[in-house]
Amino acid sequence: MLRRIDEALINRANQSLLNELEADYAALGDKLARQNIDIEAITRSAADFQIAVPSWGTGTGGTRFARFPGTGEPRNIFEKLEDCAVINELSGCTDSVSPHFPWDKVDDFSELKQTADEYGIKWVSVNSNTFQDQPGQEHSYKYGSLSNTSKEARELAIQHNLDCIGYGQQLGAKSLTVWVGDGSNHPGQQHFQRAFERYLASMEQIYKGLPDDWEMHIEHKMFEPAFYSTIIQDWGSNILAAMQLGPKCKSLVDLGHHAPNTNIEMIVSRLIQFKKLGGFHFNDSKYGDDDLDSGSLHPYQQFLIFNELVDAEYRKEQDFNPAYMLDQSHNVTDPAESLINSAIEVQRSFVKALLVNREALYGYQEDNDALMASLELKNAFNLDVSPILAMARYRKGAAINPLAVYRSSGYRSKMAELRPRDPNATGSGIV
Ligand code: RM4
Ligand code: MN
Ligand code: MN
């Protein structure tokens, strides 16, 4: 297998930390054993946990005011893939990449797939982009794409989504994620119902083009770029569209796309109940769609979401297979470092949710014992599961301390030499 980080470097770093890790792991194992939890079973689940990296997250993001590019940024999808390989080699929990088109379009997809295969990276959900015009585009998306009043603009957007499915098929992906910027900025600008009808009619055309074993995931977002109304504003519009379109269409939850204080874990539960949970874009936010690093502000919320997910698994909910992806914008950090750290933070929430005693919790719920029920969750959340995560990484040949190895590898400064920045290149700055 092709590697970007020298295995010997990881092994040396791991050897120097192993004694300490083994001691911490043994102590945690004893503690969990007293609660009748087998640490080995939890570590196996942790090792199996995987979350996809968004190709667009490997570059520095930005705001509508400015973008401050970092050094050695990837300039094309092959270079983004290299960074994704680094992230996976060190974290051991990001073995797939979600591409975005046309940003990641190449002439030869078989070459791209082969390179990813060599790194042991899979391609998952393909993302379409009808929120910006491409150079020379005949019909603008300024007033929307799939819901545009112009038939020609709608047809262009439909065709782009169908093209994305074609690219994804060549890469081995099995789902299409559709997020549109369509909406309005002024009350009265748009007829809500007619716009939604146009959107649904366009989505039906895309749905018809889905291969049998594919799913389509709709992403809702409350605002931006439209600031008064958006076509798929919230999970309500999202699930209505997904229900109308059919069983292969599901809703995707991007954590940053809700109003502050929204009870996202309850939305997750509803979507699970009605078999409409397609997947996640994990990130964190304080004010709106800030796309901050996952778990950096609201780790308890992230844990409560995983509590619902692990509960669904425990109850053997049928057809339950949500796709986990990160979707963040890194404005002031090295994107690779943020993505490594964020993937592990999401994995941490998953592992903590595994520690909840489900039967005990159901008992407290039946008895209306609110305090004990909330403590059952809080106790799991409060436990430091770092030794489990580190041991899972160590056993798969990833790094016990991924960020330390990343920094000592000098990867970014090497990339700064190999990837000189094109002074005329314009970064998207949109995530
Ligand atoms: C949006 C949304 C989509 C992503 C774009 C780049 O806010 O989160 O998932 O494709 O950003
Ligand atoms: Mn997203
Ligand atoms: Mn977003």
Residues 347-372 pLDDT 10s: 999 999 999 999 999 999 999 999 99
Q: Is residue 206 part of a domain?
A: yes
Residue 430 CB–ligand 1 contact under 6 Å: yes
Residue 407 lies in a domain: no
Is the pLDDT assigned to residue 240 strictly greater than 50? Answer: yes
Confidence band of 91 (pLDDT split at 50, 70, 90): very high
Determine, yes or no, domain membership for 131. yes
**Sheet strands side by side (includes 96-98):** 53-54, 96-98, 122-123
Q: What type of residue sits at position 21? A: L
- Residue 176: CB within 6 Å of ligand 1? no
Residues 6+ apart with CB under 8 A from 238: 218, 219, 220, 232, 251, 252
Task: Tell me, using a 6 A CB cutoff, whether residue 281 lines ligand 1.
Answer: yes
Mean pLDDT on 22-38: 98
Instruction: Assess if residue 218 is contained within a domain.
Output: yes
Domain span including residue 105: 51-357
pLDDT (tens digit per residue) in 271-315: 999 999 999 999 999 998 989 999 999 999 999 999 999 999 999
The three-state secondary structure class of 200 is: helix
Q: 72 lies in a domain?
A: yes
pTM here is: 0.97
For the chain, what is the domain count?
1
Give me the CATH number covering residue 330: 3.20.20.150
The per-residue pLDDT for 426 is 57
Kindly give the distance from the C-alpha atom of residue 220 to the centroid of ligand 1, in angstroms, as a whole number.
10
* Ligand having the closest approach to the CA of 289: 3
Segment 180-197, tens digit of pLDDT? 999 999 999 999 999 999
Query: What is the rounded distance in angstroms from the CA atom of residue 89 to the CA atom of residue 3?
Result: 8
Tell the residue nearest (CA) to atom 3 of ligand 1: 179
CA of 430 relative to ligand 3 center, distance in Å = 9
Would you say residue 236 lies in a domain? Answer: yes
Residue 33 lies in a domain: no
- Whether residue 163 is contained in a domain is answered as yes
Number of the ligand 1 atom closest to the C-alpha atom of 428: 6
The answer to whether 75 and 419 are in contact (CB under 8 A) is yes
CA of 181, nearest ligand number: 1
